[in-house]
Every structure is written in structure tokens, then in C-alpha cells.
Amino acid sequence: MCIDLQGKVALVTGASRGIGAAIARDLADHDAAVVINYLKSEDTAEELKNSIIGTGGKAITVQADVRDRGAVDKMVAKTEMELGKIDILVNNANINFPMQSFAKLSWPDIEAKLTGEIGAMVHCCQAVIPGMMEKKYGKIILVSSSLSREPGYGFAAHCAAKAAMDSLARTMALELGPAGIYVNVVGPGLTKTDATTGLPPEVFTHTAEHTPLLRVAEPEDIASVIMFLASEMSDYLTGQYIPVNGGSFMI
């Protein structure tokens, strides 16, 4: 069965670079109309949009801080005006956090990550749910992390926020399933992106050596799984956490 998203409108948050950009490209390649959300990277967002349009796809860019409910509501309203109601939400925007041992973290550090991450998720999901309920159909895909299930030194704030996301997703799936809305979580392992370029090279080497597939992920690896979740091929799958980590840990 081929993935066909013709007629679907997909919103990808944090889509100007990295995993988000790969997701947006893949959605457009499968004929979805794509909304490329970005915070600051206007040039790369516009470049991605033009690339999609240049290959026959349909895309718009919308600047919005997804931590701000008002900005999210305006983004969704603009999308509905230009493309129609949203069928697919990929909640991908990452909220920055300090890499510190737990003992050195302040509560404001943890609170900023928790409220930013979960606030952005809540704002985006609640903004698109009414349109999905009207259609009696919707796919909500949350990009979490393998660190929500497996601890990482210096990642306490990130681990806590992503674990909260995973848990909230299950309740959403339970409540929204009868309305035809699917909610699933993707947990990427270490992935080569702009966000991870600052990590020491030995982190990538060590991770690859301890992964059965002997490599770390590329953004396209994550995007491929999200295409499955965005399509009708996953129409009996909801409330699930899917690790995409090359087998570095297994459920």
C-alpha cells in the first residue's frame, strides 16, 4: 500500500531545520499541503518552502512561538484560511534546555523546559482538535525522545519534559479516539541535526557502537516512521510510543 496524503493539510512545528524539515519534505512528497512553522529561522523556512513548491508540492511558512497560545491560534487560523482545516499535526518543535547534572539544575531551569515543552504541545493540540472533531478525523504525532525512557547524564530537564509528553499522549488517545483522532508518539534516538552538532564526536561513535544497526539516526529515518503514522496505514494504532533508535534500546 502506498502512502497517499492527497487532500490532507499537515502542520509541522519547528520545521525549518533538522528532523522537522525532513518531515515537512516527506509529507509534501506524499502530496500533503504542508505548513512549515518556525520561530527564528525565516531564511531556511522560506528555502524549504520554495524547494517544496519547486518540485510541485504545496507549502506555506508561518512564524509562531508555539509556547504562546495566541500565536498558535493565529497560526492555525492562517492555515485554515489558506489551506483548510488541519488533518495532521506533527508536534516537533524543541524547547531548549541547559545540559547540567540534576544536582546543579535550578528549579527555574526545569520549570522552563517543562512548561515550554508541555505548554507548546497543549497549545498546538488544543488549537487543531476542534477542526479534527468537525472532520471526525485527525492524526496527532508527538516527537518525543528516547531519553523519556532511558536516562542520559545532563538531560534531566529534557527527560522529565518528554516523559510528561509521553504520558499525556496516552490520555489524549483514550479521550480522542472515539472522535476519530489518533495520537501517537515517536521517540528518536541520537540523530544527526543542527541541534546535536555541538556534542563531542565520541558521543556519536559510542552510540553507534552500542546500536545493533551500528549508526546513529538521520532525520529521514525519523520522518519515514512519521509518514506511516500520518497515513491510513496506521488507522488501528493509537496511544503508542514508537522508538526510532536503531535498536539501542528495545521495548
What DSSP string describes 69-101?
A: HHHHHHHHHHHHHHT-S-SEEEE-PPPP---B-
For the cut 80, the answer to whether the pLDDT of residue 20 exceeds it is yes
Give the pLDDT mean for 218-238. 96
Confidence of residue 195 (pLDDT cuts 50, 70, 90): confident
Q: Does some domain include residue 250?
A: no
Q: Does some domain include residue 249?
A: no
Q: Average pLDDT, whole number, for the chain?
A: 94
| Residue 236 pLDDT | 98
* Positive/negative CA dihedral, 74, 77, 83, 85: positive
For the cut 80, the answer to whether the pLDDT of residue 251 exceeds it is no
Closest CA to 158 of 87, 217, 216, 95: 95
Residue whose cell numbers read 479534527: 132
Residue 145 to residues 34, 114, 166, 202, Cα–Cα distance (Å): 23, 14, 9, 20
| Residue 52 pLDDT | 98
Cα distance between residue 197 and residue 129, in whole Å: 35
Domain that holds residue 55: 9-244
Q: Does some domain include residue 1?
A: no
Q: Does some domain include residue 141?
A: yes
* Residue 151 main-chain phi, psi, to 5 deg: -70, 155
Lowest mean pLDDT among 12-21, 63-72, 80-89, 194-203: 194-203
Q: Does some domain include residue 119?
A: yes
Give the pLDDT mean for 112-120. 97
Confidence of residue 129 (pLDDT cuts 50, 70, 90): very high
Cα distance between residue 184 and residue 237, in whole Å: 8
Q: Does some domain include residue 3?
A: no
| Residue 78 pLDDT | 98
Q: Does some domain include residue 145?
A: yes
CATH number at residue 76: 3.40.50.720
Strands (E), 43-180: 58-63, 88-91, 138-143
Give the pLDDT mean for 219-242. 97
Name 165's Cβ contacts closer than 8 Å, sequence gap at least 6.
117, 118, 121, 142, 144, 148, 185
* Residue 185 main-chain phi, psi, to 5 deg: -125, 135
| Residue 163 pLDDT | 96
| Residue 148 pLDDT | 86
The number of distinct structural domains making up the chain is 1
| Residue 74 pLDDT | 98
Of all residues in the chain, the percent with pLDDT exceeding 70 is 99
Residue whose cell numbers read 510528561: 164
Q: Does some domain include residue 200?
A: yes
**Number of neighbouring beta carbons within 10 Å of residue 141:** 26
Cα distance between residue 165 and residue 160, in whole Å: 9
DSSP category for residue 229: H
